[in-house]
Structure 1
């Protein structure tokens, strides 16, 4: 939608419009029309929110749409329409409180007007556009300005005005007044400003052939169904509303998507106000409205970023199409004298290369733009959970943010894995590893989940299955996790069985081979369950991306990518997946991989306890953090400084080189994509010097491409870590490259017993680390043969007692309660009557 541009202010204009320096164009009819529109819209939506939500929750609204409409209208029509905001907010305050509070109403209206102007001015200053939703970094700037600028000012101004006139009191200023008011305004801007901008100014248009088609109906039906379950029936499924919104962003464009975000958010707010839904249930259990506000902010930000990514990709494709058109014309002009067959071959080759390069660029950009913000979300939430003085309510909120970030990272990784496969960028990372240890790890991962579901999880392997094999361990682990996780999810009772066989001739493990071109093993993996089964007509669509069987759709879980990615991984390893199933009786997934024998590995035990500080008597380690994103630098600084490291920052390669030359750090955390000078050039320069060879350089990148690692290592980096990372990975890397030693959370050390049946060596003495009351409970649970209680008691054993945990868990899994009774009885002789 086009709008008239205001003329540049001149002396003649100022004489014609004497109030123009204040933005008052009193002789302009269009200006008056837009002023009245802003005032009426603000009053109408704010009156409705106060009537429907505020009057029911008896507290500030979790979302204030008026703040978003104000910012949106100023971005569309210009900041000179500020008078509409002032009149709308003033009329609302007077309507609610009448003339007895004229002074605070004037002050609050002035605060809202100035706050909206601040927000809009900062958005225009930093994005240089009135529609900041076509690029991901513009969306991030819009969100930061919406939350941390004008909304703070207008909140403080409004509350202060009413406190000065004794309408409010100073008591609980932050928790009861400032925090809900500020977050409500910020959420309102995040949700309603994009709605106004998209419908009044957006040039994006995704035509929908018919509103009665399967895609639109499926998206709307899923939103209504999940919304009913979570926002009315109080089921904790609220974040399953995100996939249909992302679907809308990819398929239906910005206008419909922003409208759906508004409808979902306001439905959640109204349902909570009328005491329905999962958020009202959370409030009754002691949580605040912050969970509802976090939910609305997450769906708004995630969907707007997705819309920006779609627009960036659309523009890139248009540019690629134009480039292809130009290239085709050049080929035709310059090769007119060549044979037609040669011309067509050159044209097709150029197109294929351009398309492949476009896919690679898209994957790299997707990885960087999505994983970099998640690095900050997961990193800072981990640091919040490390704080010992954090309030329980805030600790739970940080935990929710961390879990939601993990879930979002899983979705992103699945989509990026599929994109890498389709772009031909996925390759095998061949290495020798311990197959038995991998199977034990996967079994331990799912055993407690199976026990809690009342299932029997069994892992079997034939005697001729080799101990060490040579193939891609990570992809094999991912396939097993996907298949076993699905089997447990869709099995209500019975068992889940994994059976591994070697279908080649018997193997002599004294001879190992590591030649990818000469496979010597064909291993067969079979995962069977006694679950709900799959209908025959659904089997053909089972491995299609984003497709789910009926049981999966009823569960309302997952993305429909797990089996598709698993099949691609298995095909890369030389095999394929097949499935047999019968409704009501269960399913069996079977796949084969080609591998080779690997030589025996000798690996040390990794200490997984939390590091608290540097051990004494060590050098003063100096660490340089290089990243153009201040939040990423801040994350590493706050993580390393409390541990005892000396840390400095740089925002690009040139600054990094200058600080390195002057300060001589022991190790550099180097981001690879930066302005001015990137991490590749900076690393090359540092490593080209004699002094630089003594400095460890570790690349930190959000790229998921395998070839990126080879490129990074080739320029001189000593190691390669992907964002988002866990704090333990950072500490382990410092220990690996600098020999750093730490003080851990628990200084007791116990031997990890792995390769023999630990329950044989378990004695009553091992149980003395636990209190007598715990031993008595274990004894009684063993007498009653109650496996669930025994497993819960094992969960109370300290993490450092690995040997005891593994031993008791194996006894409980195998229902060997007689052995548990024999172990506990000698310790309870004085307590049993």
Structure 2
């Protein structure tokens, strides 16, 4: 069951519980209102009975008056109407009402009997007067008795109604409490089950990521939840499995390379040894030849020694023959060694090619599952139903994926540097802005560890220079990242200055120093730290990276024409220094490196064609990811598992746009693209390649195959929609709330500065020259005449201690400029 469905069921139960509570409140109110009305009516009947008894005696006392009789009749009629108006659902009360009616009718009959007796009393006194008077008293007593019985019945009925009301309320509250308790227990049980499954699954994935980050590639997640988290776990297991195989292949290949290098070294040593032996034998042979010539010349002179000389000559000839034979053998062995050396060189070239193939495969096999992990985490983080803990856990998964991607990129960067394929891309750079950006980024990391970061640069430092900005930034981030990693207390400093170069007026030498108060580096390890895959830190810090950061930094510094060095004291800290030559330039030539957050795409804009999109990818996770992204915003999507299926779907469906993976079974993306381009209307369809290759040289090969553009894995959702907007012409509706608001640090125009009073401008200018940020903030706060846009810029620059920028902005003022 999907997480979303579980959460909806929980919400539905909560709503049902609320409706039950409202129903109980309504019923309680109705019962209370009905009981109050009935009680009031019965009370009026009780009081009316007493009044009826009083009016009876008043009629006896004033027999000649009609008013008491009329009042008695009106009250009796009112009581009858009140009794008729009472409604009860209980049989006992109905019987009491009938009894009340019967008693009132009896009273009416008695009063009728009383009326003639009263009229008769108006005659003169007769002997029967006493009897009549007694009769009236008996009738009045009967009426009073019945009236009191009516009052008692009404009182008894009130008590009965109130008791019945109380019983009904108790039954209702008991029932409501029982139902509410059951629903609450069910809600708690369901919620506990849902969130326990989610937390268990997220902790399982987090544990797996932690294990893999520590280097345990044998870990596999055993998560079975039938929801999105199980898909994450499957993608994670697949990634770890492929990473394990890849790392095993890399280790085996490294062993083979080391073995080949050892063989090459031995062959070179053996070759040198053979050459030395041949040289020695040749010299000895030359000496023997000269000795033989000398002996032949002395034969005639030394006839007496002829026999001896002849023997010596024969011996010498034998030695010469042996030397010649030995030399021929050595030459044959040398030729054999040269042949072996050629074979070794060929094998080394094969190993290098295998290394390149390995890197390409690693790029594809690791980037492909990483694309699914990062993509699905980006989709899942948009769910508003997630709790803060769930969002934090998903962010950890995302950051771990980014960390793995950085490790892969480090290996690829080192490979490019070693093969000479990396190039310098020099362009104008705002150096100070880059330093401030790095400062902001590092401050976040050091504050998390309770450290302090300090940025210092010389006053004469050029703000705009020409260099490879990306590589310079990478060097600084690598060095500062290492400083943060190996520093637990104290702080980190970055110092920058520039020195002139002898004989080069158009270039200066930028000098950087990164100092930390970390664990330090032993002096005998200074050279080892710049070797790839080597980490010399303590065991607590090892395993936190690839060991390539310093090696890449050293190579990039040398590529930029500079040098890097290190000084360190154990338990005191380290200083990494490097210098690179640059060319100063003007600010107008510097290109801005603006990074803005991309807004999320909500849907396709209205009044557009019904775009049909075909996705060709043999990886199930990546196929699901891209399909989910596109269908959510309104595209019609079909999918193909390989190039041949993509060709068949194109012939039948005629899509408007194709996402083409370049590595697929049966027919790959290159061949499928060429075939589609040759089909009817194939030149008009838009085809964009998706590749996990990290080598830029692959792009030209992909474009030559017929693709319109290339997107590399792992990609972000905004890259997909940007490409479809550029290539297909699709328009989208964006969620403006996802765009980060950046402070406006642009300089204020001169006419806006001229609108300020001269005194305020002078005070701001003086405070900036004195590097007094507090004074600048006070001036802005105390002067309402300064507009909001100017205030925002001044406050931002003052808090960032960019006094040079404030002075530059104020210098636009006419009077300041003239001065």
Question: TM-score, normalized by length of structure 1?
Answer: 0.51
Distance 2:651 2:426 in 1: 38
Asked if the contact 2:564–2:576 (Cα under 8 Å) also holds between the matched residues in 1, the reply is yes
Residue number in structure 1 paired with 2:483: 487
* Match runs of 1:311-350 below 5 Å: 312=249, 343-344=339-340, 346-350=342-346
Displacement of 1:636? 0.9
Distance 1:372 1:359 in 2: 20
Match of 1:697 among 669, 683, 687: 687
* Match runs of 1:206-605 below 5 Å: 241-242=211-212, 245-246=215-216, 304-310=241-247, 312=249, 343-344=339-340, 346-392=342-388, 394-419=390-415, 421=417, 424=419, 426-428=421-423, 430=425, 432=427, 434-436=429-431, 437-450=433-446, 453-460=450-457, 463=460, 465=462, 467-471=464-468, 473-489=469-485, 490=487, 492-501=489-498, 503-504=500-501, 523-550=510-537, 553=540, 557-583=544-570, 585-593=572-580, 600=589
1:743 to 2:743 alignment: no
Report the CA distance shift for 1:433/1:344 in structure 2 as closer, same or farther (over 3 A): farther
Give per-residue Cα distances to partners, 1:733-771, cap 9 Å, x unaligned: 23333444433322799897455489x999xxxxxxxxx
Q: What SS does the corresponding residue of 1:709 show, helix, strand or coil?
A: helix
Displacement of 1:354? 0.9
Displacement of 1:687? 4.7
Q: What SS does the corresponding residue of 1:408 show, helix, strand or coil?
A: helix
What is the root-mean-square deviation of aligned Cα atoms in Å?
5.5
Q: What SS does the corresponding residue of 2:369 show, helix, strand or coil?
A: helix
Distance 2:202 2:385 in 1: 27
Distance 1:238 1:805 in 2: 46
Give per-residue Cα distances to partners, 1:4-48, cap 9 Å, x unaligned: xxxxxxxxxxxxxxxxxxxxxxxxxxxxxxxxxxxxxxxxxxxxx
Distance 1:802 1:664 in 2: 53
Residue number in structure 1 paired with 2:617: 627
Give per-residue Cα distances to partners, 1:501-555, cap 9 Å, x unaligned: 364379898xxxxxxxxxx675443323455543434433322334334467458
Report the CA distance shift for 1:681/1:425 in structure 2 as closer, same or farther (over 3 A): farther
Displacement of 1:497? 1.8
Distance 1:468 1:242 in 2: 42
Distance 2:340 2:427 in 1: 45
Report the CA distance shift for 1:607/1:549 in structure 2 as closer, same or farther (over 3 A): closer
1:657 to 2:647 alignment: yes
Residue number in structure 2 paired with 1:722: 712
Asked if the contact 1:750–1:803 (Cα under 8 Å) also holds between the matched residues in 2, the reply is no
Asked if the contact 1:497–1:529 (Cα under 8 Å) also holds between the matched residues in 2, the reply is no
Asked if the contact 1:611–1:744 (Cα under 8 Å) also holds between the matched residues in 2, the reply is yes
Whose helix proportion is higher, 1 or 2?
Answer: 2
Asked if the contact 2:235–2:369 (Cα under 8 Å) also holds between the matched residues in 1, the reply is no
Asked if the contact 1:187–1:293 (Cα under 8 Å) also holds between the matched residues in 2, the reply is no
> Which segment is superposed worse, 426-435 or 298-307?
298-307
Distance 2:794 2:191 in 1: 48
Asked if the contact 1:496–1:530 (Cα under 8 Å) also holds between the matched residues in 2, the reply is no
Displacement of 1:651? 2.0
Residue number in structure 2 paired with 1:609: 598
* Match runs of 1:123-162 below 5 Å: none
Distance 2:683 2:229 in 1: 52
Displacement of 1:635? 0.5
Asked if the contact 1:450–1:457 (Cα under 8 Å) also holds between the matched residues in 2, the reply is no
Displacement of 1:646? 3.1
Asked if the contact 1:425–1:705 (Cα under 8 Å) also holds between the matched residues in 2, the reply is no
Displacement of 1:303? 5.8
Asked if the contact 1:320–1:354 (Cα under 8 Å) also holds between the matched residues in 2, the reply is no
Residue number in structure 2 paired with 1:102: none
Q: What SS does the corresponding residue of 2:623 show, helix, strand or coil?
A: helix
Displacement of 1:442? 2.2
Displacement of 1:361? 1.2
Q: What SS does the corresponding residue of 2:561 show, helix, strand or coil?
A: coil
Aligned residues: 514
Report the CA distance shift for 1:298/1:679 in structure 2 as closer, same or farther (over 3 A): closer
Distance 1:626 1:491 in 2: 49
Distance 1:292 1:617 in 2: 37
Q: What SS does the corresponding residue of 2:479 show, helix, strand or coil?
A: helix
Question: TM-score, normalized by length of structure 2?
Answer: 0.51
Distance 1:185 1:438 in 2: 41
Distance 2:622 2:595 in 1: 27
Distance 2:237 2:621 in 1: 21
Gaps of 5+ in 2: 1-184, 262-331, 754-772, 778-787, 807-819
Distance 2:600 2:699 in 1: 28
Asked if the contact 1:309–1:366 (Cα under 8 Å) also holds between the matched residues in 2, the reply is yes
Q: What SS does the corresponding residue of 1:647 show, helix, strand or coil?
A: strand
Report the CA distance shift for 1:493/1:804 in structure 2 as closer, same or farther (over 3 A): farther
Gaps of 5+ in 1: 1-168, 191-235, 250-257, 270-287, 325-335, 510-519, 763-781, 787-800, 820-833
Larger radius of gyration: 2
Residue number in structure 2 paired with 1:136: none
1:677 to 2:667 alignment: yes
Asked if the contact 2:202–2:393 (Cα under 8 Å) also holds between the matched residues in 1, the reply is no
Distance 1:363 1:556 in 2: 21
Asked if the contact 1:533–1:583 (Cα under 8 Å) also holds between the matched residues in 2, the reply is yes
Distance 1:428 1:712 in 2: 21
Report the CA distance shift for 1:815/1:308 in structure 2 as closer, same or farther (over 3 A): closer
Report the CA distance shift for 1:755/1:582 in structure 2 as closer, same or farther (over 3 A): farther
Report the CA distance shift for 1:399/1:753 in structure 2 as closer, same or farther (over 3 A): closer
Displacement of 1:184? 9.4
